[in-house]
Chains A and B, each alone.
Chain A
Amino acid sequence: MEFLNYSFMQRALLAGCIIAIVCPLIGSFLFLKRLSMIGDALAHISMAGIATGLIIGVNPTISALAITMLASLLIEYLRKHFKKYGELSIAIIMSAGLGIGIILISIGGSDTTNVISYLFGSIIAISPSDLSLIAIISSVVFLITILLYNKLFYITFDEETAKIRGIHVDRINLIFILLTAMTIVITIKVTGILLVSALITIPVATGFQIAKSFRHTVLLSILFAQFNVLSGLICSFYLDWPPGGTIIITSLILLFLVIGLKQLSHR
């Protein structure tokens, strides 16, 4: 338990456990909506937000939050515009994010050399103020998602009937995409931009293998995400591997273990 003696490690573990609650919660609904790739698109756009923050001297998490939330609204608008080809909006925003991000990094010169630490995440990068921000934003995301749970579930598979029942479908879809953007930005601190969607998709894919209902999927994926993050961070500490990559490796090991056990039990 040597790792617990380091305050940066305590903060990383705490931050990891917190995001391992909200990521699978949001991820379960994204999975149900078949929009899992949205996590990647928003993470890419957050790079433009981080670069902007570094250039103008604002906390990059705050600037990333603002720009990613704006981009999420744009995704929702484009998704409505393309209707049957909703995934196009994700691809468009993803390229836009990377394009703008790369230009900003090149313009920023020495100001933006730090961006690399955001690409892959870094355990030592989580400051006490980052931890407070992660805790506050996660609490907001968690609370609103739980309060909207029933309506989100309804909308996800039958928008028409939900509309007839008087549920404000457009408003709730908008709130949900904003919550997704907030979740992505706080997750970047731990996993890095390139790996953020793994915490949103892999635990849900693991829970989905053995769940007996949607609620069961949500609970199981949160449980699996806790295991993935804790084991990933601890391995990352001892092996000196980047935390994001290590969390993904432990997540994948668990996913294939569950798939294997499921197949064995069906024989």
Chain B
Amino acid sequence: MDHLALHLNNISFGYSRQKSILNNITLKIAYGQMVGIIGPNGAGKSTLIKIILGLLNPTQGQVFINGTMLNNFKEWSKIGYLSQKAIAFNTSFPASVEEVIATPLNSDFLLPVTTKSVKKQVSEALKLVELSDYRNTLMGNLSGGQQQRVFLARTLVSQPEILILDEPFVGIDENSQQSIINILKRLHHQGITILFVSHDLRWMKNDTDLLLCLDNGTLN
């Protein structure tokens, strides 16, 4: 199983026996693949992502990341996750773009100072999402699309090997959607494994290595 970045083996999930959300899902993603999962709202896409990230326990089946079973997996800094809810962040609060992007790196330090190496990594992440000029801007002063790119930069700042995105195109303008698509394409070329879920088929369908449909709890 060493050659797989992500392996879901026969995953099922339900909050009760009568109400199953995911049924016998098996998915194998090799290193460097870009995989999209589409499906209508309520199909269980976000639930699947939460199971992969260990935020929910499946009622059946196992998840392997980099060949390691989820329970034993420790290298979470190699996993980048952009949550659907990121955009609902308290935008009126004056947190600067740099502060937001630096959070995953700063969380390893005890004192509230941003080191030079963190600043450098933030610069690189900002360059990737084409927002270098916005480093000291307040989050509340950015558009929804720019904010989503900042959150993407926060995901990329720890240089993840696997990128997991939950509805990255929801609630943002078309220019930003296109910009995020271009960024993801570049990352794909660099060999980063990407898994995203979306309810909208328009995006990325031509660029994925594998496009799957999640409906009624089954993956096709």
Contact = CB atoms under 8 A, between A and B. Distances in A.
A165 B83 CA distance: 13
Contacts of A146: 111-112
Interface size class of A (residues with CB under 8 A): 20 to 34
Interface stretch (B11-19, B20-28, B87-95, B121-129): B87-95
Interface string A191-207: 00000000000000000
B99 interface: yes
Contact of B110 (A147, A153, A162): A147
A150 B100 CA distance: 11
A160 B90 CA distance: 15
A164 interface: yes
A158 B98 CA distance: 16
Nearest to A32: B93
B90 A167 contact: no
Given A146-B112, A150-B110, A164-B81, A212 B55 contact: no
A213 B98 contact: yes
Among B54, B85, B100, B103, the most chain A Cβ lie within 10 Å of the Cβ of B103
Given A164-B53, A164-B54, A164-B55, A213 B94 contact: yes
B96 A214 contact: yes
Interface in A135-158: 146-147, 149-151, 153-154, 157-158
A34 interface: yes
Contacts of B99: 153, 213-215
B83 A158 contact: yes
A163 interface: yes
B107 A157 contact: no
A146 B112 CA distance: 7
A128 to B, nearest CB: 33
A216 interface: yes
Contacts of A167: 107
A215 B103 CA distance: 12
B61 interface: no
Nearest to B94: A211
A34 B89 contact: no
Given A157-B89, A166-B76, A208 B94 contact: yes
A161 B104 contact: yes
Contacts of B54: 164
Contacts of A149: 111-112
A162 B81 CA distance: 10
Contact of A31 (B53, B93, B109, B112): B93
B86 A158 contact: yes
Contacts of A212: 94, 96, 136, 138
B79 interface: yes
B107 A213 contact: no
Contact of B107 (A32, A147, A150): A150
A160 B104 contact: no
Contacts of B86: 158
Given A158-B103, A161-B81, A213-B94, 17 more contacts: A146-B112, A153-B95, A153-B106, A153-B112, A154-B107, A157-B90, A157-B100, A160-B53, A160-B85, A162-B107, A165-B76, A165-B107, A167-B107, A208-B94, A211-B94, A213-B98, A214-B96
Interface of A: 31-32, 34, 146-147, 149-151, 153-154, 157-158, 160-167, 208, 211-217
18 contacts: A34-B90, A150-B106, A150-B110, A151-B107, A153-B99, A153-B112, A158-B86, A158-B89, A160-B55, A160-B85, A163-B55, A164-B79, A167-B107, A208-B93, A212-B96, A212-B138, A213-B94, A214-B99
